[in-house]
Structure 1
Amino acid sequence: MIKDILYTGLGGAVLLKERIDEEVKKLEERGKLSKEDADKFLEKLQTRGEEEEEKLKEKIKEALKEVIDEMGLATKADIEALKEK
């Protein structure tokens, strides 16, 4: 289920990027946006996307940890501690 959510999100992001690229190219062709401005915009957008991706990954990790705690499942650290005993 989590994989499906991630894949859906990634698919949406790819489609969004493609549409943005198309629109930026149209603006360039019409002379309403310079090549340098377009490149800067796309770079800034990519950086922002990467930052948001990291935030999302952290939120997912936190949610999974909460679920594991609520279910009472053993973590690697718990298993290692038992092995040492």
Structure 2
Amino acid sequence: MDKKLEQLFFAVLGGALAVKEKIETSNEEIKNWQEKSEETARTFFDEMAQRGEKEKEQFKDMVKDILKEIIAEMNLATKDDLEKLKKELDQ
């Protein structure tokens, strides 16, 4: 009976150690996955920020073009026109 009890004890101990190792392995896998996820998120965020900057410049250029068209259609004086007029008046 003592022999069977001893075998049962070692079987339970072995099982507990196996579970402990599995948990530690899983923990390492989760840490690695988390690090990869954080890196992926940072990369995605950086790419979106760069794309946003690019889109910002394109939008800015588009607005400038539209404003130039509106100024031309309304025959408003531009800064260059005023500079020319000022030079003519100075002479």
User: For the superposition of Structure 1 and Structure 2, which TM-score range results when normalised by the shorter chain?
Assistant: 0.5 to 0.7
- Are positions 1:79 and 2:82 aligned together? yes
Q: Deviations 1:21-45 (Å, cap 9, x if unpaired)? A: xxxxxxxxx95x6111110000001
Runs of 4+ off more than 3 Å? none
Q: Pick the structure with more helix per residue.
A: 2
- Map residues 63-74 of structure 1 onto 2, 5 A cutoff: 63-74=66-77
- Map residues 1-85 of structure 1 onto 2, 5 A cutoff: 34-85=37-88
- The DSSP-based 3-state class of the residue aligned with 1:34 is helix
> In structure 2, what residue type is equivalent to 1:69?
A
Tell me by how many angstroms 1:78 deviates.
Answer: 0.3
Query: How does the TM-score come out when normalised to structure 2?
Result: 0.57
Query: How does the TM-score come out when normalised to structure 1?
Result: 0.60
Structure of greater Rg: 2
Q: Deviations 1:20-69 (Å, cap 9, x if unpaired)? A: xxxxxxxxxx95x6111110000001100110011001000000000000
- Partner Cα separation in structure 1 for residue 47 and residue 39 of structure 2: 12
RMSD: 1.6
User: Would you say how many aligned residue pairs link Structure 1 and Structure 2?
Assistant: 55
> In structure 1, what residue type is equivalent to 2:62?
K
Unaligned runs of 5+ residues in structure 1 are 1-29
